[in-house]
Amino acid sequence: MLAVNFALTFLLVAFTLMPLLRREEWWVRAFDFPRPQILTCGLLTAASHGVRISGSSSVHDWVALGAVVLTIMLQTQPLLPFTPLVRMQVRCRLVAYDPPVPEDQRLLDPRIGRGIISTFHARVPFLRFRLDHLFHTPDFAIVDIRRRADFGSDHFPLLVRLSLEPPRGPVREAPQSDAEDWDEARSKLEQARRRVSEAG
C-alpha cells in the first residue's frame, strides 16, 4: 500500500505541474482539462496518507501528504470560478429585446458561477470535463445555459440562450445623407454600370 500511495503522489504532482510548462504539445495541454478527476484522486490519496500518518508518522509520509495537499490546492484554483461559490460573471434575464450591438468589448464566460458544465467525454462518465467554450460581450445576459443529452458525438451539446441587453447610454444617430452624398453614390453606380457593359 505504501508503494501505491507514493506512486499516486508522484503521478498527481506530475499531472498537476505538467500544465504549468509553457509548451503547446497536446500531451502537455491534455492535463489542463481533467482537473476534477485529478482533484478527486488527490483527495482520495490525501485521505489514504492521512490514515497512514495516524498510525505512524515518518518524514516521507508528511512530505508526501504535503505534496498531495499542494496538488489539491493547485487543481482547485482553476475550478473554483466555475462553482456556485463564485459570483456569476453574467447576469440572468428572462426577457429579451433586440437593440443594436456595441463594438470592442471584453468577452465573458457565462459558465462562471454556475457550476462545472462538462461537455466532453459523452461516452465515458469518469473522463468528463469542460472542454467546449462559449464567450460573449457584456451586452448579453443569460436566459438559459445547460448541457443537452448525448446525441452520438463524444461531446455533449451546450445550449446557451442569451438576451442582448447593452448598457443604457447615449444613442448614436444614423448618419444623414445630403445631396453631395447622393451625387457621389449615383456617380459610383454609373461607373460600375459602364464597367459591366464594357466587360460583357
Mean pLDDT lowest for which of 69-83, 160-174, 180-194?
160-174
In this predicted structure, what is the pLDDT of residue 89?
Answer: 67
- The whole-number pLDDT of residue 172 equals 58
Own/partner pairs for 59-62, CB < 8 Å, 24+ apart? 60/6
Could you say which DSSP state residue 155 is in?
A: B
Answering whether pTM is above 0.85, one says no
End-to-end CA distance of the chain: 85
136 forms bridges with which residues in the sheet?
108
Q: What DSSP character marks residue 176?
A: P
- What whole-number distance in Å separates Cα of residue 148 and Cα of residue 46? 34
Provide the pLDDT confidence category of residue 126 given band limits of 50, 70 and 90: confident
CA distance 72 to 61: 16
Residue 54's DSSP bridge partners are none
- Average pLDDT of 170-184? 76
Cell numbers for 101: 450591438
Note the pLDDT tens digit of each residue in 63-86. Answer: 888 999 999 999 888 888 878 787
Distance of CA 95 to the CA centre of its chain: 25
Residue 183 has pLDDT above 80, yes or no: yes
